């Protein structure tokens, strides 16, 4: 065996070292170093040189017979598929769904029959409006799509982190998406709704007002995929073995509770780490802190539907949890990242039409339209009706059909018969007993293009959502509306929106008008149905009213300097890990610092790349000289100033005082500032962090 240096024909360019051995016939064969395999073409042919095209001489033209180059460049030229029209920027993970108890009384769906049974799943989270290359923390709806690989085929629960939508009928879907996408004459703004086209459409579409309250709330800027709810949005049906139907709404609730970021914080996170949500999910799963949600069902019959204040088929309405309590029926755990992003996350195809026997549709007109649209869009994106041959989309249960051929067919029916009925005794047959059967709901009426009168109240639930928020959350909605509408160049659009807001809540409308400088209030918009003021607040709609009371799954950023107190750092790390949280060290240099006991403290971030917006709380473990060196660093001052402005809990050593003062932060400003010099201070800091933010500080901070 010889170690040979391979060179180009002119002897000048060394390619790389390879191990060669001579076969029985004297020919040379490459032997992979260690576990490194031999490079081959897509056809499996070994490649001798991947650095140079085949030429006529060293400086001559490239030869068309270079099949390796042609295959390589051909694949590169075609390696992008059309991105999704909506939900283009997404991230996914594998996991399982575990059923708690049998739901046989409500559904014959196999997935809900046996307690403790686990079903494989793939989940994709996404933003709606932006392209694949946009940032994670746009103010936007988040997709929450779950593919269950059940024993009766795939079930796709294709939902969002908001339980309502902008429109009531699918025929308006192209319009709302066109309006929010970059304006076609200028191709901007990207991944933002703060522009004229979107608000022009919304101001002319009263049915959007409930959704607008949600999108302008903190729900639209979640801290993490792990800290947001998911909803099936529509009303579906469960059908049991007796062919009895029960209406159902699906709700995912995160184990770690809900949490969002402040808008100013979101803007800075997008600059510091546009992949913030992706990185968070990746790191959580890779570290074994598997994200978990609980599936809850709101179950109701036709009598409840008839007695409810609003139409259960209207996708712009919810059933408040105080009216109909959700029932937990199982848990979702994500425990494995894809082996390849493109093969799985990018090529996964979700379709609302994918339901197993025992789950059926309602007549929600938006759901009906989605059932048509999704199959069509997957054909466009993935290039063939055979997209179910792609492993991520293939069922994990046995499947049999006569579909054949087509572009990229990976399998075809075996045998003589590719049709049925046939007399050859070949192939599958339908099963009235086990197969999917649509619930036989009687339908009658004329063929019309009308919207049901029961869909006409566009403001009452929008008002209910707004009054269900805490003062802090209401202030955020007002600020979000003001910011978005301030980006509209046309004053008429701003005034039309204020007219709608006055129908939702007079205080809300006046506050936004004042911030926009609208001197004369417009008349409230014409309303098909007068806003009801008798709907009570629903505490379940507030994020802050439903805090986790825990710091589990969060991050503390610890800014350190040379000779930082080693025992204090160890105490901090132990306390943070005991909370189920993560500590990350930030230093002037990413290599780290030498601590007071001579040990080396490795840093995860240098101060320029680890701003406080990336963390849920911060600690300043500095020495006097270390703080003095940082006071002239703008990024260090921003680290402290932003943490304070974003209402985070800040622990600090006394020696850090000069840096805080230079950042304009009073070490004794409020109870969220916690000195680390006293015994028990670390425990006090961690207890405070369970509240996540000190929102009482916000009113005194001017960003």
Query: What is the b/e burial string over 269-308, where b = at least 16 CB atoms within 10 angstroms of the residue's CB?
Result: bbebbbebbbebbeebbeeebbbbbbbbbbbbeeebbeee
Residue 481 tokens, joined: 């509306």
Residue the block writes with tokens 């996964």: 348
Residue 45 tokens, joined: 């042919």
CA 322 to mean position of chain CA atoms: 27
CB 644 within 8 A of CB 534: no
**354 catalytic, yes or no?**
no
For residue 669, say if its preceding peptide bond is cis, omega within 30 degrees of 0: no
Task: Say which residues have a Cβ less than 8 Å from residue 348's Cβ, sequence separation at least 6.
Answer: 92, 122, 124, 147, 392, 393
Catalytic member of 154, 160, 161, 197: 160
Rounded CA separation 119/405 (Å): 31
DSSP letter (8 states) at residue 406 = S
The secondary structure of 195-261 as a DSSP string is SHHHHHHHHT-GGGHHHHHHHTSGGGSBS-GGG--EE--S-EEEE-TT--EEEEEEEEEETT---B-
Rounded CA separation 572/686 (Å): 9
CB 473: neighbour CB atoms within 10 A?
21
Rounded CA separation 286/374 (Å): 32
Rounded CA separation 573/563 (Å): 17
In Å, the largest CA–CA distance within the chain is 95
Residue the block writes with tokens 């799985």: 344
Residue 522 to residues 443, 457, 479, 662, Cα–Cα distance (Å): 44, 21, 20, 46
* Residue 599 three-state SS: coil
Rounded CA separation 342/79 (Å): 10
Rounded CA separation 610/584 (Å): 9
CB 291 within 8 A of CB 254: yes
Task: Say which residues have a Cβ less than 8 Å from residue 400's Cβ, sequence separation at least 6.
Answer: 427, 428
CB 237 within 8 A of CB 265: no
CB 620 within 8 A of CB 630: no
Closest CA to 144 of 132, 131, 127: 127
Query: What is the b/e burial string over 404-416, where b = at least 16 CB atoms within 10 angstroms of the residue's CB?
Result: eeeeeeeeebeee
**160 catalytic, yes or no?**
yes
Check residue 196 and give left, alpha or beta (phi > 0: left; psi -120 to 50: alpha). alpha
Rounded CA separation 118/334 (Å): 12
Residue the block writes with tokens 């180059």: 69
Class of residue 208 by CB neighbours under 10 A (exposed 0-12, middle 13-18, buried 19+): buried
Catalytic member of 68, 87, 195, 605: 87
List active site positions.
87, 160
């Amino acid at each position: 065996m010889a170690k040979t240096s391979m060179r180009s024909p002119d002897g000048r360019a060394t390619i790389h070292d390879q191990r060669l051995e001579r076969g029985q016939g004297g020919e040379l064969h490459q032997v992979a170093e260690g576990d490194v395999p031999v490079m081959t073409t897509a056809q499996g042919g070994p490649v001798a040189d991947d650095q140079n095209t085949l030429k006529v001489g060293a400086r001559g033209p490239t030869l068309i017979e270079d099949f390796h180059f042609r295959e390589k460049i051909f694949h590169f030229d075609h390696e992008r598929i059309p991105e999704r029209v909506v939900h283009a920027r997404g991230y996914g993970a594998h996991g399982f769904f575990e059923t708690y108890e049998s739901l046989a009384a409500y559904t014959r769906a196999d997935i809900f029959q046996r307690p403790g049974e686990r079903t494989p799943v793939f989940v994709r989270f996404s933003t709606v409006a932006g392209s694949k290359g946009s940032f994670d923390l746009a103010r936007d709806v988040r997709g929450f799509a779950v593919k269950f690989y059940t024993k009766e085929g795939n079930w796709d629960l294709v939902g969002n982190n908001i339980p309502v939508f902008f429109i009531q009928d699918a025929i308006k879907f192209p319009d709302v998406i066109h309006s929010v996408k970059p304006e076609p004459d200028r191709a901007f703004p990207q991944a933002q709704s703060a522009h004229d086209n979107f608000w022009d459409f919304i101001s002319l579409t009263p049915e959007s007002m409930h959704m607008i309250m949600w999108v302008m709330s903190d729900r639209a800027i979640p801290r993490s995929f792990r800290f947001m709810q998911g909803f099936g949005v529509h009303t579906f049906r469960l059908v049991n073995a007796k062919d009895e139907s029960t209406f159902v709404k699906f709700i995912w609730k995160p184990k770690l509770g809900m949490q969002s970021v402040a808008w100013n914080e979101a803007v800075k996170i997008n600059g510091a780490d546009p992949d913030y949500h992706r990185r968070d999910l990746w790191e959580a799963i890779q570290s074994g802190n598997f994200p978990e949600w609980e599936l809850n069902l709101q179950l109701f019959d036709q009598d409840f539907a008839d007695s409810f204040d609003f139409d259960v088929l209207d996708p712009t309405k919810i059933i408040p949890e105080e009216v109909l309590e959700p029932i937990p029926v199982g848990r979702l755990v994500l425990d494995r990242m894809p082996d390849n992003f493109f093969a799985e996350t990018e090529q996964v195809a979700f379709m609302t039409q994918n339901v197993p026997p025992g789950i059926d549709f309602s007549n929600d007109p938006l759901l009906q339209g989605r059932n048509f649209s999704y199959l069509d869009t997957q054909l466009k994106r993935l290039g063939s009706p055979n997209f179910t041959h792609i492993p991520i989309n293939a069922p994990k249960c046995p499947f049999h059909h006569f579909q054949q051929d087509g572009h990229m067919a990976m399998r075809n029916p075996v045998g003589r018969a590719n049709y049925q009925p046939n007399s050859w005794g070949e192939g599958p047959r339908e099963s009235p007993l086990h197969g999917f059967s649509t619930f036989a709901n009687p339908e009658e009426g004329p063929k019309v293009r009308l919207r049901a009168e029961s869909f006409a109240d566009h403001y009452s639930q929008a008002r209910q959502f707004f009054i269900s928020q805490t003062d802090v959350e209401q202030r955020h909605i007002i600020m979000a509306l003001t910011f978005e509408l301030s980006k509209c160049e046309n004053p008429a659009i701003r005034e039309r929106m204020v007219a709608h807001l006055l129908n939702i809540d007079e205080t809300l409308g006046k506050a936004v008008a004042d911030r926009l400088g609208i001197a004369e209030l417009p008349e409230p918009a014409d309303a098909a149905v007068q806003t009801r003021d008798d709907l009570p607040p629903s505490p379940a709609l507030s994020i802050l009213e439903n805090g986790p009371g825990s710091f589990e799954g969060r991050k503390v950023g610890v800014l350190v300097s040379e000779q930082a107190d080693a025992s204090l750092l160890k105490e901090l790390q132990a306390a943070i890990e005991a909370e189920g949280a993560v500590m990350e060290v930030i230093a002037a240099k990413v290599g780290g610092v030498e601590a007071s006991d001579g040990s080396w403290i490795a840093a995860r971030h240098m101060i320029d790349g680890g701003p406080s917006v990336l963390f849920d709380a911060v600690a300043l473990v500095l020495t006097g000289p270390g703080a003095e060196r940082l006071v002239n660093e703008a990024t260090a001052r921003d680290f402290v100033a932003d943490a304070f402005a974003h209402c985070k809990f800040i622990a600090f050593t006394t020696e850090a005082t000069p840096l805080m003062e230079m950042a304009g932060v009073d070490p004794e400003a409020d109870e969220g500032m916690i000195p680390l010099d006293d015994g028990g201070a670390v425990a006090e800091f961690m207890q405070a962090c369970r509240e996540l933010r000190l929102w009482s500080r916000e009113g005194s901070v001017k960003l």
